[in-house]
Amino acid sequence: MPAELSPIDKAKFAAAKRAVDLVEDGMRVGLGTGSTAAWMVRCLGELVREEGLRITGVPTSTRTAELARQVGIKIVTLDEAKWLDLTIDGADEFDSELNLIKGGGGALLQEKIVATASDQMVVITDAAKEVVQLGAFALPVEVVPFGWQASRALIEELLISMDVLGRTTTLRLNGSQPFVTDEGNYIVDLHLNRIGDARQLGLMLNQIPGVVENGLFIDICDVVIIGHGDGRVELRDINQGTVEHDQINFAETENLFADLD
């Protein structure tokens, strides 16, 4: 493994490496978006190329689709796949009930559609993403460009009646222009600090005209795999009520990192 790989990247890789053990031959797999999910796609590609694993991937963004093609994973659309056996994705935050905030990478809409069209959602992450209560990470809300300022004003009005600590909202930018999602929408980030009732907030946000979806993933995640920089991994299954521990041997993964030097 390259010496310059950071402890955080090693933690992300360890979680991703453990997660692909859950993928079986013939599965239809949702491929998440973000830095941790990219490790997972690389790991799956290695299994496809070197061990002949046969899977069909459904990417949650154009950049994930591009990476999947590069590493040799067959990809199709969700409409073509119809239903998925498993989705593996990252998260920006998760709590003890495996509720999540996602969307830091701007792909929350496709990520939520794909995750909910799967028999199981597995989240891969590092330990720093675990929180007692959601909200420290800004909550992304995807809105249509038409009248987005009106939608933002309605969001801010809603937050007055919600159990949150902060109510600042910002339009996500790409340089000096609005960030545009794969669906051609904008993202308004809500800086809430703490969310008292995430379920209620998620439901209320989606009732606002112009809001397409929000980054609260409630009762969607089944398993979280937490990686550490020394290769330790912890697998928590919310449905089974189990916790497993494992160890990833970085020395066995030199091929995966060859193109990173």
Whole-number Å distance between alpha carbons of 61 and 76: 12
Of 209, 243, 206, nearest to 223 by C-alpha is 243
* One domain for residues 76 and 187: no
Domain annotation covers residue 133: no
* Domain match, 225 and 256 both: yes
Residues 61, 148 within the same domain: no
Token pair for residue 169?
A: 């909202």
Q: Which residues pair with 187 in a beta bridge?
A: 142
User: Residue 62, SS3?
Assistant: helix
- pLDDT tens by residue, the chain, 261 residues: 444 779 999 999 999 999 999 999 999 999 999 999 999 999 999 999 999 999 999 999 999 999 999 999 999 999 999 999 999 999 999 999 999 999 999 999 999 999 999 999 999 999 999 999 999 999 999 999 999 999 999 999 999 999 999 999 999 999 999 999 999 999 999 999 999 999 999 999 999 999 999 999 999 999 999 999 999 999 999 999 999 999 998 876 655 655 543
Domain count, the chain: 2
Q: Same domain for 37 and 70?
A: yes
The domain that holds 210 is classified in CATH as 3.30.70.260
Of the three residues 216, 237, 252, the one that is the final residue of a domain is: 216
Same domain, 17 and 107: yes
Domain at 32, CATH number:
3.40.50.1360
For 239, the token pair is 């449905």
Q: What three-state secondary structure class fits 91?
A: coil
Whether residues 111 and 155 fall in one domain = no
The CA-based angle 96-102-104, given to 5 degrees, is 135
Q: Which residues pair with 156 in a beta bridge?
A: none
- Known catalytic residues are 111
Percent helix, strand, coil in the chain, to 5, is: 35, 25, 40
Containing domain of residue 233, as a range?
7-128+219-260
